[in-house]
Structure 1
Amino acid sequence: MSNKLVVPCSQEGSDGVTSSCISEKISNFPLVTIVTVVRNGAKYLKCAIESIISQSYKNIEYIIIDGGSTDGTLEIIKQYEFAVKLWISESDNGIYDAMNKGINLAGGSIIGILNSDDWYEPDTVELVVATFVAQACDVVTGDMMIWKNSSEFVRVKPNISWPLVKYGIFKINHPATFVTRDVYLDYSFDINYSTAADLKFLLQLILIKKKFSYLDKILVNFRTGGASSNSSLMASVIQMFWIRKDIGVGNTMNGLLFIYDLVHKILAVLKTFFRR
């Protein structure tokens, strides 16, 4: 089943709430597209959507790409149609294929991708737009707050050490990263990397020297246990090996980095397990 709806921003929602013209084009303010990819994400999707509605910056179009949910997700999307420019429900070839669909549908000059179980800070988009306008950059990235439960959290900052980037060693929080539409369309996500396509995409941009700007602010709140689960984190170790190989990292160095990544992930999994 495929559903595509374009809803005027002035339409009243099923709960009687009227959108604050989320998709209205405001003069002199760039349109920002936020894409959420979801499949059976009913538990937290409302929180993600409401974080878009509550943004201080209002020139936003919101697109939801659903992978054929059966858990009530579609009912939630319909409840919030007043705030959604476009939504689709159909099968896909994985999360990055769904992200590419959303990017191809985007009308905004700036694109952010919000996971269905995460949420933005209220001024995230406003801060990001101000940075794009002031610095004429290709990418804006910031900090991410990782929540393990309602009270346990850690703030994660990006880290790009230029001498190590050539080995594929870097840290950027993709959920806290916004990219121009032109750059996303030029490079997109390689769906052959089912758990690490965002890492390959960002590494590409670093290596070809696209202009990054850093915001020393928490832009997104990230719940553990979503698409980046323990199993997918382990798969990403293997995929990072092939990504480094693609960019020309030698076999010996790549092998050592693979072992380091593997040990690091195993220790992280064990730490999480023994905390339960």
Structure 2
Amino acid sequence: MSEPLTLLYVPGDRPDRFDKALASGADAVILDLEDAVAAPNKAAAREAAAAYLAKPRAVPIQVRVNDLTGPDVGADLAAVANARGLTGLRLPKVQSGGQVCELAARVAELTVREPELHCLIESASGVEAAHEIATAHPWVRSIGLGEADLSADLNVADEAGLVYARSRIVVAARAAGLAPPAMSAFTNVSDMDGLAVSCVRGRALGFLGRTAIHPKQLAVIAEAFRPADPEVEKARVLLSAMAGADARGSGTVVLADGRFADRAMIAAAERTVALAERFGAVPRPRV
């Protein structure tokens, strides 16, 4: 499991923040050429991102390009697609699998590298095409929601109106064999309590990790998605018990705390342990 738990957006026209972003502790950094950059600054942002990505960096770096149907995406791809420091391309406002394939073909004309494609779904039609998008091309590494645009498209006022879309994305990612999606950025950078609550809701729906728009959000996100010590201990006990059951030729076991366990629970327990081994565990029970 190599998917990041925290991803930090940085405006592409703020190269003074690039090094700071890499030193922030985020698992991945996203240089944003799209929403965070005003139209007059697009060219400067593109040049700054290309210059920064000219060599490999210690932290994985994605670039969010401009609208796939707009006038800037071609120049974005020409600038960064072959950059040595690029890990992946973040594609905004994806509506269909065909768009993904077309974008991948354009990238293939620019480089022999195979960058990861991370597809953002930001409209009702995109949500309906989620599985098609997730399976459109071998380079697709993840799908996720762009919830600000999606909320506007659906005319919903709060997170309750996004539950169906969130679940749809989680199911589509799983059905396509992709990692669980990361949550969309929480836009109120002053509301740490609200961010924590939102992350708990997303975790319960099957999301793993979240994008951030400010470094101070990273610790809240990481704590929300890291497993707690009791969860990890329960997972280890289950895996040990199931290993013993297998040795006895049995597919089920009743654990000491009364829980009934079978092979269907092994994958979830393995994910919990792997997550703890990679990111550490929260040293207390969740409330």
Flag whether TM exceeds 0.5 (same fold): no
Bigger CA radius of gyration: 2
TM-score (structure 2 length as normaliser): 0.23
* TM-score normalised by the chain length of structure 1: 0.24
| Higher share of residues assigned strand | 1
Greater RCO (CA < 8 Å, at least 6 residues apart): 1
* Greater helix proportion: 2
